[in-house]
Amino acid sequence: MVGELTIVLIFLRMALMKLRSTPAAPAPGNGPAIRTEGLTVAFGATPVLRGVDLSVADGEAVALMGGNGSGKSTLLKALLGVVPVASGEARLFGADVTARRTVPWSSIGYVPQRVGVGAGVPATALEVVAAGLTGHRRLRPGAGARRACLDALDQVGLADRAHESVAIFSGGQQQRVLIARALVRRPRLLLLDEPLSGVDQVSKEAMARILAQLQADGTTLLVVLHELGELAPLLDRAVVLRHGHIVHDGSPPQPAPGHDAPDHEHLHPHGDEPAAVPSAPDLHGKPQRP
């Protein structure tokens, strides 16, 4: 495993040295940034997403919330086409994610739930960011990748540390490197899975500034969060999942003590909305609204 990763890194290093100009992201297709209808995902016999209907317009910033295990990460993965769809459909910019070739992947960025970005391999920040320019049939970064990677690191305030090993970065700095890896694709749609979790205050504020700038530039944001925190001012709405159902789609919750608890379900009234679900939701069908 480490051997394979080392080979990939050597490959990336060689590719970085050869590159010359910035790749242009293809224009996204037609349709809203995200649209799912009756989206159902199951692992074995266990349904995890149960008929999710979600629409996110181009340029919107939406929080995806819910307790542990409610299906938030699975929804992002279904949108990225990396978990199988049992029924229903998911479209990005109008393209069905299961028909992979039609999706404008180069316009879509993904920041996964925090993992050690170095994963035991002595990668520099620049090399990690360069990985954002590979994948989906592109085996090495295109021309101009080095400049693009440095620009992305500059956006997250880490250009001066481009050649340092991410193994010595703080958790928040590692998270910013992962965001730079997504930004280097110049995405029109950015999916982020708990970007603020376990991150120091300085990095939280830096990330809020970065995401606010992206939103101002028209980037669509879907952000998994347990609490809105520093991102509250830029979010247009919140979608709350419970047991794979959407149980709230509307105003973001007001900040309150306990919202950051991982098992908090955000089921009480949020802003101008009525309570989202009854205390005993019908898990086999649509939850009944009061």
List contacts with ligand ATP (CB under 6 A): 43, 48, 66, 68-74, 262
**Strand 220-224 vs strand 61-65: parallel, antiparallel, or unpaired?**
parallel
State which residue, 69 or 171, has the beta carbon closest to ligand ATP: 69
State which residue, 51 or 69, has the beta carbon closest to ligand ATP: 69
The H or E element spanning position 67 is: none
Which residue pairs, CB below 8 angstroms and at least 24 apart, start in 134-137? 134/12, 135/105, 136/100, 136/105, 136/106
Q: Return d(Cα 6, Cα 11) in angstroms, integer.
A: 9
CB of 22 to ligand ATP, least distance (A): 34
Q: Return d(Cα 34, Cα 249) in angstroms, integer.
A: 14
Minimal CA–CA distance to 66: which of 234, 277, 236?
277
State which residue, 114 or 186, has the beta carbon closest to ligand ATP: 114
Contacts of 266 (CB under 8 A, 6+ apart): 65, 66, 238, 240, 248, 253, 259, 276
CB of 64 to ligand ATP, least distance (A): 9
**Strand 237-242 vs strand 108-111: parallel, antiparallel, or unpaired?**
unpaired
**Bridge partner residues of 224 (DSSP):** 64, 193
CB of 18 to ligand ATP, least distance (A): 37
Q: Return d(Cα 84, Cα 213) in angstroms, integer.
A: 33
* Residue 103 backbone phi and psi in degrees, to 5: -80, 135
CB of 262 to ligand ATP, least distance (A): 6
State which residue, 71 or 187, has the beta carbon closest to ligand ATP: 71
State which residue, 71 or 132, has the beta carbon closest to ligand ATP: 71
CB of 82 to ligand ATP, least distance (A): 10
CB of 83 to ligand ATP, least distance (A): 7
State which residue, 23 or 66, has the beta carbon closest to ligand ATP: 66
State which residue, 6 or 68, has the beta carbon closest to ligand ATP: 68
Q: Return d(Cα 271, Cα 158) in angstroms, integer.
A: 37
**Strand 34-43 vs strand 87-92: parallel, antiparallel, or unpaired?**
antiparallel
The H or E element spanning position 182 is: helix 171-183
CB of 194 to ligand ATP, least distance (A): 7
State which residue, 262 or 271, has the beta carbon closest to ligand ATP: 262
CB of 260 to ligand ATP, least distance (A): 12
